[in-house]
C-alpha cells in the first residue's frame, strides 16, 4: 500500500509540474498582444455565464474536467444568492492575443466594484437581455465606460427567448448611448447576438454560428492591443487586493507603463501623497482562473504582486527612486448608512467569538481597505461605528460575512445620507423599474406615489405593466417586502442610484407597532396563541426571549408590551374542548435584509452566528416610556 501511495504521489507531482511548465511557457513566450476587457451589465443579464463560455472555448479546462456553472462566482455568498458580488479576473489566449477578462457585479449596490476596475480595461462587453432591454444598472455601468473614452461592444444575450425583440433592444441601447453623450466613435459600436449559456455568438439575428468565434473576432478587430510602453518608467496601479497564508497581502493591478520583475526593488506612491520603499517578493500572472509565478511582466498586463504588506487600492508601484504619479481611482460616495455596535443584549456571548468593540473596529478597518465603496467612522464617546455603503444589500452582505466569521453585532435602521448644495438639502434618488400584473398595478402605483415617487413612463406588455419611476432612496427602505405582499410575489422591482435632488418632504414609514417581550424566559404556545389575535408572531414556542425583544408586529400603530412566557395554569379540573392542542400559524421569519427593512428608528437588529433577533434600543419598558416622554 505504501508503494502504491508513493507511485500516486509521484504521478501527481509530475502532472503538477507539467501544468506549471505550461503556465510558465504561456508567460515566458514573446510579448503577446494584450487586451483587457470587462463584461458589464445589469444583474441576471448573463455576465458570468458568458465568462464561462470564454473559458470553455479557449482550452482552459481539460476535456474530462467537470466545470460548474458561473465558475467565477466562487465566493460562498455568491453561490448561495446566485449573484456576482466581487469583480474578479481571469485570462485566456486566442489567436496570439492574451485577453484578460474581468467579470463584474450587476447589482447596483456593488457598483463600486465596477468603478475600481473599469479604468484598467481597454474595452467592455455590454450585455443586454434580448427581451428586457437596458435596465437601470445598464445605464450606470455604460456611463462609467463612456466617461473613460472606452468604446463598448454590445452583446444582445438570450436570443433563444420566445419574446426576443433584438432590433428594438438595439435601438433602445443606441438611444441610451446618445442620452449619455457618447462620441461618434463610441456610437459606432459593433453588435453581436447570442446565447451565452450555449456559448453561441452571431453577427446577425438569424446567424447559424455554433461557438463564440464571431465575438472573439470582433474583440480583436474592434480593440487595438495595448501599446508597447515597456521602455517607459514603471506605473502599476493596484485595483484589487487578495490574501495568501504564505505570501500575505497581494496587490492586483495593471501595468500602464514599463515592466516589472520578480525580486525588484520599487517605490510606492501612497494615497496620502507619501512615498515608501518595498520589494516584490513574488510576481504572478493569470492563466485561466489560476495565478502562476512569473519572472517578468510588461506594459498592458494585469498581474499580482506580493511583498508589500501595506499596499492599498489605488496606490501606484514605480521604479525605485523614479515615482511617476497617476490619478487615484475615484469612487462615488455612499448613499446609505447604518450604526454598527457591539451586541449588549442579555444573550450576548452565547454563540459568537468576537464580542468587543476592539474586535469590531479591527474588522471594519480591514474591510474598509478592500471594499472601496465603504466608509467607516467611529462616533464620538461611544463604541458605535457609522458604516456607509451603496445600498442595503451592500451592507447586509458585509453583516452576513461577519456573522459567519463569529461576530455579534447590533445594527440600527438604514438611513440615507444627505448633502447640501447652494444651501439646499439634497437626497439620493433612485430609478425604479417595476414589472407587475395589471391587477396589482393600481396598488403599486399608489404606494410609490405615497413615497414621493415620480412616474417617468408606463407601458403595457400583455397582462403586465412596466413602470419607470424616480423615487427617493428613503422611500424605498422597507418597501420590498411590502411590494412582494402587494403583488403576491408576481412582481419584480429593480432599483439603481440615479442622482441627487432637493429634499422631497416627509415620507410615511411602517405604521404598525411592535409586540415587545416584558420579561426573560421561554416562549409558550399558550401565550403565543393568545397573542396571535393581537398581531403577527415572529417566534415559535420554545424560543428564548428577553425583556425588550420584539416577538411580533402589532395590528395597531402602537407598541404593546406582552408576556410571551405565560403558561396555562394547571388544575385537576378538565372540560371537554378546553384542553385541545394549540395550533399556531407558522411564525414570520426574517432574512437579514428583511429585518433591516422592518425596524424603526428606536429598534435594532441583533445579529449573531446562530440567530437574527429584533429588539428595542432601550430594553426596559419604564426607561423607554421615560425616553419617549422627556427625550
Fold of 509-568+583-589: OB fold (Dihydrolipoamide Acetyltransferase, E2P) (2.40.50)
Looking only at the bridges linking them, the beta strands covering 560-562 and 514-517 are: parallel
The DSSP bridge partners found for residue 243 are 249
Confidence grade of residue 257 (pLDDT, cut at 50, 70, 90):
very high
pTM of the model: 0.80
437, exposed or middle or buried, with CB in 10 Å at 0-12, 13-18, 19+? middle
Length in residues, the chain: 631
- Domain 235-319: which CATH number of 2.40.30.10, 3.40.50.2020, 3.40.30.10, 3.40.50.2300: 2.40.30.10
Give the number of C-alpha atoms closer than 13 A to the C-alpha of residue 410, restricted to the C-beta side: 23
Backbone angles phi, psi at 282, to 5 degrees: -150, 130
Confidence grade of residue 32 (pLDDT, cut at 50, 70, 90):
low
Output the nine-digit C-alpha cell for 178.
446618445
User: Mean pLDDT in the chain?
Assistant: 85
Pick the residue with more confidence: 290 or 257?
257
pLDDT tens readout for residues 57-70: 877 655 545 455 55
The DSSP bridge partners found for residue 292 are 285
Can you give the pLDDT at residue 265? 93
pLDDT at 4 over 80: no
pLDDT tens readout for residues 495-545: 888 889 999 888 877 778 999 999 999 999 989 998 999 999 999 999 999
Cell numbers 407601458: residue? 459
For residue 176, give the H/E element and its range. Answer: helix 166-179
Backbone angles phi, psi at 324, to 5 degrees: -120, 100
What number of other Cβ atoms are within 10 A of residue 389's Cβ?
26
pLDDT tens readout for residues 307-320: 988 888 888 999 99
Alpha carbon distance 385, 363 (integer Å) = 11
pLDDT at 119 over 50: yes
Can you give the pLDDT at residue 578? 52
- The CATH architecture that domain 419-502 belongs to is 2-Layer Sandwich (3.30)
- Beta strands per DSSP E along 216-353: 235-244, 248-257, 260-261, 265-269, 275-279, 282-287, 290-293, 296-297, 302-306, 316-319, 336-342
Sheet holding 88-94, edge to edge: 88-94, 97-103, 33-41, 123-129, 153-157, 191-195, 200-202
Pick the residue with more confidence: 24 or 90?
90
pLDDT at 435 over 80: yes
Q: What angle do CA 354, 544, 534 make, to 5 degrees?
A: 125
Secondary structure (DSSP) of 250-274: EEEEEEEES-EETT-EEEEE-TTS-
SS3 of 90, please?
strand
pLDDT at 156 over 90: yes
Q: Give the distance from CA 407 to its chain's centroid.
A: 20
Decide if 277 contacts 204 (C-beta within 8 A).
no
Fold of 27-222: Rossmann fold (3.40.50)
Can you give the pLDDT at residue 31? 57
Residue ranges, comma separated, of all CATH 2.40.50.250 domains in the chain are 509-568+583-589
Sign of the alpha-carbon dihedral angle for 364, 366, 367, 373: positive
Decide if 318 contacts 268 (C-beta within 8 A).
yes
Can you give the pLDDT at residue 333? 83
Alpha carbon distance 546, 64 (integer Å) = 56
SS3 of 395, please?
helix
Decide if 582 contacts 526 (C-beta within 8 A).
yes
- Beta strands per DSSP E along 555-620: 560-562, 603-608, 611-616
Q: For the packed helices 166-179 and 136-147, what is the interaxial angle rounded to 10 degrees?
A: 50
Cβ contacts of 325 within 8 Å, gap of 6 or more? 269, 316
pLDDT at 19 over 70: no
Which candidate, 379, 211, 363, 236, places its Cα nearest to that of 305?
A: 236
Q: In whole angstroms, how far apart are CA 329 and each of 117, 375, 389, 497? A: 9, 15, 17, 20
Can you give the pLDDT at residue 72? 56
Secondary structure (DSSP) of 340-352: EEE--STTTTSS-
Can you give the pLDDT at residue 15? 43
Residue ranges, comma separated, of all CATH 3.30.70.240 domains in the chain are 419-502
Residue ranges, comma separated, of all CATH 3.40.50.300 domains in the chain are 27-222
Cβ contacts of 578 within 8 Å, gap of 6 or more? none
Alpha carbon distance 536, 532 (integer Å) = 6
Alpha carbon distance 451, 504 (integer Å) = 9
Choice among 22-36, 243-257, 369-383, 559-573 with the minimum mean pLDDT: 22-36
Cβ contacts of 132 within 8 Å, gap of 6 or more? none
Q: Kindly state the DSSP code that residue 382 receives in the 8-state scheme.
A: S
Cβ contacts of 630 within 8 Å, gap of 6 or more? none
Ordered alpha helix ranges (H), 457-553:
473-476, 479-486, 525-531
SS3 of 117, please?
helix
Cell numbers 416562549: residue? 523
Output the nine-digit C-alpha cell for 368.
474598509
pLDDT at 17 over 70: no
Can you give the pLDDT at residue 62? 53
Decide if 46 contacts 30 (C-beta within 8 A).
no
Choice among 7-21, 99-113, 207-221, 548-562 with the minimum mean pLDDT: 7-21
Residue ranges, comma separated, of all CATH 2.40.30.10 domains in the chain are 235-319
Amino acid at each position: 500500500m505504501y508503494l502504491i501511495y508513493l507511485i500516486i504521489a509521484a504521478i501527481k507531482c509530475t502532472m503538477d509540474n507539467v501544468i506549471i511548465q505550461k503556465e510558465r511557457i504561456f508567460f515566458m513566450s514573446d510579448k503577446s498582444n494584450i487586451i483587457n476587457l470587462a463584461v458589464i451589465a445589469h444583474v441576471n443579464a448573463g455576465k458570468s455565464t458568458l465568462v464561462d463560455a470564454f473559458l470553455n472555448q479557449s482550452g482552459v479546462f481539460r476535456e474530462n474536467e467537470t466545470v460548474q456553472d458561473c465558475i467565477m462566482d466562487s465566493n460562498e455568498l455568491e453561490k448561495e444568492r446566485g449573484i456576482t458580488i466581487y469583480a474578479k479576473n481571469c485570462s485566456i489566449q486566442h489567436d496570439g492575443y492574451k485577453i484578460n477578462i474581468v467579470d463584474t457585479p450587476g447589482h447596483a449596490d456593488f457598483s463600486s466594484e465596477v468603478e475600481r476596475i473599469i479604468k484598467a480595461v481597454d474595452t467592455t462587453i455590454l450585455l443586454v437581455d434580448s427581451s428586457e432591454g437596458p435596465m437601470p444598472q445598464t445605464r450606470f455601468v455604460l456611463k462609467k465606460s463612456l466617461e473613460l473614452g472606452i468604446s463598448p461592444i454590445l452583446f444582445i444575450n438570450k436570443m433563444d427567448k420566445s419574446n426576443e425583440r433584438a432590433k428594438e433592444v438595439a435601438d433602445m441601447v443606441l438611444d441610451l448611448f446618445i442620452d449619455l453623450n457618447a462620441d461618434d466613435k463610441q456610437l459606432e459600436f459593433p453588435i453581436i447576438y447570442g446565447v451565452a449559456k450555449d456559448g453561441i455568438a452571431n453577427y446577425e439575428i438569424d446567424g447559424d454560428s455554433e461557438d463564440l468565434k464571431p465575438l472573439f473576432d470582433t474583440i480583436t478587430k474592434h480593440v487595438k492591443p495595448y501599446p508597447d510602453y515597456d521602455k517607459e518608467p514603471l506605473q502599476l496601479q493596484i485595483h484589487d487586493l487578495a490574501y495568501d497564508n504564505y505570501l500575505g497581502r497581494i496587490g492586483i493591478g495593471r501595468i500602464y507603463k514599463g515592466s516589472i520583475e520578480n525580486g525588484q526593488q520599487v517605490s510606492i506612491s501612497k494615497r496620502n501623497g507619501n512615498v515608501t520603499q518595498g520589494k516584490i517578493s513574488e510576481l504572478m500572472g493569470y492563466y485561466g482562473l489560476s495565478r502562476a509565478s512569473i519572472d517578468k511582466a510588461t506594459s498592458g498586463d494585469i498581474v499580482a504582486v506580493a511583498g508589500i504588506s501595506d499596499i492599498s487600492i489605488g496606490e501606484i508601484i514605480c521604479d525605485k527612486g523614479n515615482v511617476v504619479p497617476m490619478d487615484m481611482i475615484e469612487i462615488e460616495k455612499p448613499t446609505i448608512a447604518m450604526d454598527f455596535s457591539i451586541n449588549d443584549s442579555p444573550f450576548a456571548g452565547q454563540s459568537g467569538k468576537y464580542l468587543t468593540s476592539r474586535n469590531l473596529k479591527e474588522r471594519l478597518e480591514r474591510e474598509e481597505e478592500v471594499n472601496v465603496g465603504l466608509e467607516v467612522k467611529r462616533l464620538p464617546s461611544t463604541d458605535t461605528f457609522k458604516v456607509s455603503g451603496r445600498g442595503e444589500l451592500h451592507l447586509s452582505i458585509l453583516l452576513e460575512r461577519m456573522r459567519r466569521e463569529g461576530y455579534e453585532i447590533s445594527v440600527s435602521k438604514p438611513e440615507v445620507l444627505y448633502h447640501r448644495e447652494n444651501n439646499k438639502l439634497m437626497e439620493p434618488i433612485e430609478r425604479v423599474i417595476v414589472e407587475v400584473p395589471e391587477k396589482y398595478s393600481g396598488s403599486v402605483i399608489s404606494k410609490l406615489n405615497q413615497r414621493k415617487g415620480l412616474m417617468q413612463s408606463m407601458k403595457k406588455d400583455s397582462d403586465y405593466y412596466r413602470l419607470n419611476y424616480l423615487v427617493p432612496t428613503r422611500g424605498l427602505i422597507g418597501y420590498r417586502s411590502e411590494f412582494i405582499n402587494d403583488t403576491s410575489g408576481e412582481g419584480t422591482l429593480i432599483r439603481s442610484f440615479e442622482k441627487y435632488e432637493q429634499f422631497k418632504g416627509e415620507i410615511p414609514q411602517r405604521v404598525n407597532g411592535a409586540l415587545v417581550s416584558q420579561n426573560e424566559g421561554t416562549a409558550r404556545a399558550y401565550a403565543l396563541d393568545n397573542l396571535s389575535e393581537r398581531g403577527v408572531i415572529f417566534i415559535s414556542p420554545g424560543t428564548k426571549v428577553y425583556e425588550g425583544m420584539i416577538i411580533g408586529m402589532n395590528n395597531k400603530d402602537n407598541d404593546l408590551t406582552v408576556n410571551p412566557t405565560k403558561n396555562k395554569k394547571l388544575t385537576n379540573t378538565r372540560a371537554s374542548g378546553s384542553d385541545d392542542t394549540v395550533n399556531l400559524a407558522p411564525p414570520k421569519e426574517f432574512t437579514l435584509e428583511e429585518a433591516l427593512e422592518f425596524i424603526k428608528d428606536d429598534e435594532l437588529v441583533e445579529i449573531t452566528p446562530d440567530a437574527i433577533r429584533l429588539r428595542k434600543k432601550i430594553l426596559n419598558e419604564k426607561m423607554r416610556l421615560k425616553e419617549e416622554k422627556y427625550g
